Amino acid sequence: MAVSLRAIRNIRFSSFLYRALSSSLSSGADLKSSAFFGHNKSLPLRAEPKDRNVQWVFLGCPGVGKGTYASRLSNLLGVPHIATGDLVREELNSSGPLASQLEEVVNQGQLVSDEIIINLLSKRLEAGEAKGESGFILDGFPRTIRQAEILEGVTDIDLVVNLKLQEEALLAKCLGRRICSECGGNYNVASIDIKGENGKPGMYMAPLLPPPHCASKLIQRSDDTEEVVKERLRVYNEMSRPVEEFYRQRGKLLEFTLPGGIPESWPKLLQALNLEDPEVKQSAAA
């Protein structure tokens, strides 16, 4: 499925999604009930894609690079990158009432309840709309069939990019992940070199090292330990893998296997999406 950059330019934003999501919670509606879906279907959420900005979803295992590529596309397309993992971390670092409960769930590698996630996402969409944001690239949502059904019940997702990476690389990438505690920049100190064997291609991913001003301020996510990452991968296979099939059946899934690190993968991803990055074009021409 290809999406042209031209087609998504100069388009009007119409997002009532956050109201639909939050109304389901404030009214105490059963998220699974037909009343919930019936109610939301009456909202003007199903604008034609040409009349609004893109609404994309990124799926993929922990460590695959959803955040990296979703954030690059968000800059390119001018739509917000909304990562529910970031929303959860913001909440658990606050002194809000949910903080300690979330910390425990996240540090065990488990999923936060659908209600809490939808509440956090609704608030984020509402704040974005107040600032005039349009469209979105969701990263880390939906992660359960129930979340996917709720999202499908309130808006039309145009495209779901399912990022894939050789399994051997996922754990190493999570363990190598570092974040600058000052600017929030994401880096990776792992150097991944997988030898090709039995017809399987090899793969090299260079580390993504921080600039000198970030180097002394690097921190690791508390859930990026070997034990917790293995549990997150297990939970992904159990709870989130079925979401891939959910979108495959609806003809929305674009499967993309990362061929290596950012320099090899970014141009190929753009090609798969039928998009052009002026910076990639310039460096190719240089």
Ligand X SMILES: Nc1ncnc2c1ncn2[C@@H]1O[C@H](COP(=O)(O)OP(=O)(O)O)[C@@H](O)[C@H]1O
Task: Give the catalytic positions in this structure.
Answer: 66, 143, 177, 221, 232
The residue number with the shortest CB distance to ligand X is 85
Please state, in angstroms and rounded to a whole number, the distance separating the CA atoms of residues 118 and 41.
17
Contacts 24+ apart (CB under 8 A), 195-204: 200/166, 203/166, 203/169, 203/259, 203/260, 204/260, 204/261
Q: Binding residues for ligand X, per CB under 6 A?
A: 62, 84-85, 88, 105-106, 110-112, 117, 140-141, 143, 147, 232
Nearest residue (CB) to ligand X, 140 versus 261? 140
Backbone phi and psi for residue 3, each to the nearest 5 degrees, phi listed first? -125, 125
Contact between 109 and 228 (Cβ < 8 Å): yes
Contact between 113 and 106 (Cβ < 8 Å): no
Dihedral over Cα of 38, 43, 48, 52: its sign: negative
Nearest residue (CB) to ligand X, 3 versus 117? 117
Cβ 200 to ligand X shortest distance, Å? 24
The angle subtended at Cα 106 by Cα 101 and Cα 110, nearest 5°, is 105
- Find all residues with CB under 8 Å of 26, minimum gap 6, and list them: none
Q: How far is CA 207 from the centre of its chain?
A: 21
Nearest residue (CB) to ligand X, 51 versus 115? 115
Cβ 253 to ligand X shortest distance, Å? 17
- Cis upstream peptide for 44 (omega within 30°): no
Tokens of 156: 């039309």
Nearest residue (CB) to ligand X, 140 versus 153? 140
Cβ 189 to ligand X shortest distance, Å? 16
Nearest residue (CB) to ligand X, 151 versus 275? 151
